[in-house]
Amino acid sequence: MKKGKLFIISGPSGTGKGSICKKLLEMDPNLRLSVSVTTRAPREGEVHGREYFFITAEEYQELLEGDGLLEHASVYGRTMYGTPREQVFRWMDEGLDVILEIDVQGAFQVRENYPECILIFILPPSMEELEARIRHRGSETEESLKARLGEAQHEIDLSDRYDHRVVNGDLEQAVTDVHEIINRERL
């Protein structure tokens, strides 16, 4: 059986990469989304095991020391995120293509260890639009909004090292664009 491919989708918080991934999973039965671990608290509506595995700093440390994470990163200072290694490779061995929805630090770590992975970056149409989307979500304090916007600019600056970049102005179009990239890479 042909081994599955590993796709990494990154983009600043608020670019809609979560919505894009959700739609891709609905339309393509050969795709799987890796569920990360995080030490941050769940937002309203988030479910343990669906958006993330919400774990304590101690549990995170244990996973890290046991080499259970394919990559990990600290985002916005204190919060830790990581990709559980085992599930990703199990799916690929089954011939399924896997998406990691992770930040740029994590993406470059995965590329070091697994150079065959394909990096896709989702761009907002503009910084103004990005700010408006994050404000609309309403889950941020003014301080964390500023941190997210600063982090967004930093990630955008690094995105020229990605294999593909897609602007999310219109969700349906962005989904089509990313799916085309995935299908081309599968050939």
Binding site residues, ligand 5GP, CB under 6 A = 10, 13, 36, 40, 71, 73, 75, 81-83, 101-103, 105-106
Give CA–CA dist 180/158, Å, rounded.
Answer: 23
Q: Whose CB is nearest to ligand 5GP?
A: 106
Tell me whether residue 40 or residue 165 sits nearer to ligand 5GP (CB atom): 40
Task: Pick between residue 102 and residue 119 the one whose CB is nearest to ligand 5GP.
Answer: 102
Taking the complex as a whole, how short is the minimal distance between the CB of residue 150 and ligand 5GP, in angstroms? 13
Residue 147 Cβ vs ligand 5GP, minimum distance, rounded to whole Å: 11
* Least gap, CB of 66 to ligand 5GP (angstroms): 16
In sequence order, the β-bridge partners of residue 79 are: 75
Instruction: Choose between 97 and 103: whose C-beta lies nearer to ligand 5GP.
Output: 103
Q: Count other Cβ atoms within 10 Å, centred on residue 142.
A: 8
In the complex, least distance from residue 3 CB atom to ligand 5GP, rounded to whole angstroms: 22
Q: Which of 119, 109, 127 is nearest to 12 (CA)?
A: 127
Closer Cβ to ligand 5GP, 67 or 95, answer by number: 67
Q: Smallest distance, Å, CB 51 to ligand 5GP? A: 7
Buried b (16+ CB within 10 A) or exposed e, 157-181: eebeebebbbbbeeeeebbebbbeb
CA dist 132 and 41 (Å) reads 23
23's enclosing H/E stretch is helix 17-27
Q: Which is nearer to ligand 5GP, 90 or 184 (CB)?
A: 90
